[in-house]
A and B are shown apart, each in its own frame.
Chain A
Amino acid sequence: MLCKRIIPCLDIKDGRTVKGTNFVDLRDAGDPVELGAMYARQGADELVFLDITATVEKRKTLVELVRRIARELDIPFTVGGGISNISDVHALLDNGADKISINTAAFRDPGLLRSMAKEFGSQCIVLAIDIKQEDDREWYVYLNGGRTKTEMKAMDWARRGCDEGAGEILLTSMNHDGTRQGFALGILKEMVDELSIPVIASGGGGELVHFKDVFQKAAVDAALAASIFHFNEISIPVLKVYLTENNIPVRK
């Protein structure tokens, strides 16, 4: 049976992981390669590396980093952050990334999704969408790491992205992100029911039960989290045992 996936996300700046971790057994927790390899050993199903490096100049180091990660890691990984054209994608995939995630650039030019899917196949194109529920109860798409509001409704953009050739949707609720109060079950469930491609839930995972809920109630294909894994508040082996006990299929 196809398993539900647990995906730690690592933020990268200038080639280093950004958020602190409290893993005492790592020589260098700031090294994305070492941290990623540790998650792989713990049983993470996939990893996402999100590059938040500000300058174009320093982004060149990302390709080198991707190569180092690919050399070390024996599970799939996605690279995202600031990807805006086909040649970015070429460089990342050629150096061993399995998938790329694209956000703002795809929104500005949805044709980019189509041309990327044609060139590389939908399976390696993850459409990341940041959304926020406003006072009118509607979910709106935000760009530029959540700084820019749009008038686009979340479902309309997700549907369009799917039609243009995205292979997966990575949906982050800004209302839930960082709260550790659980995932945005309602909108996630709507997306899962509506779209024919896998949906990855992001934002709000803080306790074991949140992961059970997002798989059972929203039926997502994968759940992503960052700090709770980095600070070892939830360890991946413990999470997987818990999900198995709750009859959720996960890789053992």
Chain B
Amino acid sequence: MSARRLPEGGRIDRSALLQLTFDGRSIEAYPGDTLASALLAADEAIIARSFKYHRPRGIVAAGVEEPNALVQLRSGARTEPNTRATTLEAYSGLNATGQNAWPSLKFDLQSVNRHLSPFFGAGFYYKTFMGPFKGTGFWMTCEKFIRKAAGMGKGDHSPDPDSYQTSNAFCDLLVIGAGPAGLAAALAAGENGDRILLIEQDHELGGSLLSNPVGGQSDTWLAEMRARLTALDNVKILTRTTVFGAYDSDVYGAVERLWDHVETVPPHQHRQIFWQIRAKRAVMATGAIERHLAFGHNDLPGVMLASGVRSYLNRYAVLAGRSIVVMTNNDSAYGAAIELAQAGASVTLADLRRTPPDGLSKRLDAAGGTVLAGHGVLCALGRKRVSGAQIAPLDERGQSCGAARKVDCDVIAVSGGWSPVLNLWSHRQKKPVFDESAWCFKPSADALPTLTPVGSAVAAGTLQNTIADGAKAGAVKGVMPDLASDNPDADHWVRDISPVWRITGANGKTTGKAFVDMQHDVAVSDIELAHREGYVSVEHLKRYTTTGMATDQGKLSNMPALARMAELLGSSIPEVGTTTFRPPFTPTTVGALAANDAGHHFAPTRRSALHDWHVENGAKIMQAGLWLRPWYYPDSGEDLDAAYRREASHVRDHVGMVDVSTLGKIQVQGPDVAEFLNRIYVNGWKTLQVGRIRYGLMLREDGIVLDDGATARLGEHEYFMTTTTANAAKVLALAEQLLQTEWRDLKVHVTSVTDQWAAMAVAGPNARDVLASAFETVDLSAEALPNNHFVKAIIDGIQCRIHRMSFSGELAYEVYAPAKFGYHLWAQIMAHGATYDIRPYGMESMGTLRIEKGHVAGPELDGRTTLHDIGLEGMASSKKPFVGSVLRNRPRLADKTRPTLVGLEIQGDTGAKSGSILYDMTGSTDNHGLGWVSSTTYSPALGKYIALGFLAEGRERHGQQVRVIDFLGTGTQTATVTSPHFFDPKGVRQNG
């Protein structure tokens, strides 16, 4: 045993005892503990196995920067991989296991990988793609093993049983981080009356002060700050909340972990809340993270950050070891060393600098510790945990210059100086500046007027500076309580740092593998390999070695990696530069980001006004874009095939009704509508009289067909335009754009009325009789209401319009009614139609009817086809310009070999698949073919399978045969090319 819980002290509640399980073993903890502090108190050394080499790894840090102590939390659907034990609050029933080990953490068979490490260096994965083997076979073989052996925790594929919420917040000032600087900023601004949002990732306010010994001056200050802040109604405090990203326009993303500190989320509660914060300005009081140093076996369990060891001592009352070697290149670790010695550990401090600070050395001496000036740890000793340190005198470059000796110890506490947490700054695309005295990258204080970094995040010199800095950033007014530091010699970290990041033997090499990125198993030797292979850019280095690309985003590894790269390149760290941090700052649950936008709520659902009728009458419903539409109405025992064939026949033989409410409907009003329509449609509109309807086609600016539909002239200045269901929004936006930007001379107003009107098409030889029966007072005779005319009608007091027009090729009418009366009207028509054997029909048979007629729809108007391609070039007016009129005549669009619309009669007793490719009857199929199949159906009217498609020189090929090949499935079929107008090409039926 080496680590242990001290009998008193710490910010833990000793009155309650929590039972935790780690790797099947029972662990005790107190409220206030993290899983890591509980594990350390229980002297659990190995928490995980490493990513590539399966090396044993233990706890390194006490905060978000932890690279190694990642655990698999919970089991089943609630399991969470890669959870940092250092930020996971202990709770009763907590169950976690170590990751990436088999059969166990203590004995992992795959640790054999460590002996194969020469083969797993930087870029080894990419190298398996290349020779000496031809093709991808070798890689495919390697990949299986690599994937299995490498990796971290395991995800679960079952749906997340918890719920999440999105919330929006607005504030005058967002304060990120509730350490000394953040608290000062929040109070200074809060007491000025600003609306403040103070966010802290810990469950407690205080930041770095929580790592000070309990009961000191900082606790008094903290208590006063907390009291004054909570007394302010205009200050909202969110704890257990991480601001994970900073975005344009001062928008911030944060996740509040409401119930991650209990075993299960209480019923009817959200597990987490995703906050979208819109702040007028923000203060970034995100603090700093201590850096690691590179030396042999610096990943061995027991090698920790000095700040981590200090936090465990002061906050959790856990003494990490009996005998501790501290190695530092700056003053900050002295505070930890002194407190550890006072707590009873035997402390040896190896100071990489030749001249250690006098006052601090004396205080450490007085506490019983030893200072070795100009010394460092060459390598950590021990197999599965630290049992000693090889210590040697060093020159100013960190190279051994004398005899090494072994010092027995169970912890090596390391400080390589501190790096400001500037991730959020980096998210805003700002480059940090290099501070030569603190040897760190930091934000420049005034580069972003609305985001002010303060305190340790800008390498503030002392605690007093930090607090003053925060208060100043918070508000100009406001009075801060004083805070004298407990330990004036060691209260901050920028003093007297020596830029040594790597400790080497006399030969200039590290003694054993020295890691920079422990989470991704990237060692100094990998940086050197990348350098030998020609990598110079820091961005390339990062991607090739994957340093800084693990879930911790290189919080510890950045500086040692950059320093080594700079050394190798013979340039300075600022010249090498740093990589860009991107959101999220810490791993974020995707469920929280998705929040309510999942499952049924992923997209809005649109239902027609007639939807209930369809459901009540047994329709099978299908999704068409956002719409739910009736697909088919099966009689008992019918499948889709039987039902749509029956429905299509029934329309041709008797009469049917289909819901067409989803059509886009646009009210177009104003004195210049005719001119507007003339410009936007390819055909002419000046002659359309009131009471008439005209079919129109519109192009995009580049001359490709955009959409088609019918427009009715309701009055002198009033038109009613319909668009296809799919393009309704696009057409409206285009109309608005042209009217508001280019055609401001036109007095025209467009309004979407899609949802205001229900629409149903009554089609078939009996259609007139049905409607005449329903609307007794309206004359629907062929003379009174010819094709492409409409009439207003009233039924049960409902004002409707009956448009005579046909999509099915039958005698047909579209009846429009205000949406709220749609259901009633539909039911009335069905009732009146019973005598005439009316039946509802769905999307599938509507498709059959229009394919039989050769009418184009979405599959033909696919954003690639021209008027000529779909055989409607005759509609284009030559007397007027319209949108696309010039560019539709681009030479390549006029190419005679372009595939054009044809009909295809498929031979045999199965239909063709949409997307099949058309080929000549003989010749190679090793090419893109002559065209493709766009729409396909069985035609009851013709008694065969037919299709629409596009075929090169299609009009000249009527009567010829082609091969129809579905490369994804059924193979080759033969089809006869025909006119697309399979059924009643002269249109006798619809004009009857």
A and B co-occur in one complex: no
Q: Which residues of A contact B (CB under 8 A)?
A: none
Q: Which residues of B contact A (CB under 8 A)?
A: none
